Amino acid sequence: MRHCGMLLMSLPLKSLLPPDSMELVCDEDIPHAFIEVFREHGFRIHDIRDEHLRGAPDEAVFRFAAERHAVILTGDLAYAAPKRFNLAHISGLIVNRLPQTLSLQERVGQLRRLLGAVEVDAFRGHITILEAGRMRRRKTE
Strands, E assignment, 1-141: 22-26, 43-47, 71-74, 92-96, 126-131, 134-139
Query: Is residue 9 in some structural domain?
Result: no
Per-residue model confidence as pLDDT tens digits over 116-138: 999 888 999 999 999 999 999 99
What pairs with residue 74 in β-bridges?
95
Residue 57, domain extent: 20-139
- Average pLDDT over every residue of 51-75: 96
Domain membership flag for residue 3 = no
**In a domain? residue 52:** yes
Residue 5 falls inside a structural domain: no
Count the domains in the chain.
1
Looking up residue 34, the CATH number of its domain turns out to be 3.40.50
Give the pLDDT mean for 27-42: 96
12 in a structural domain:
no
pTM of the model: 0.84
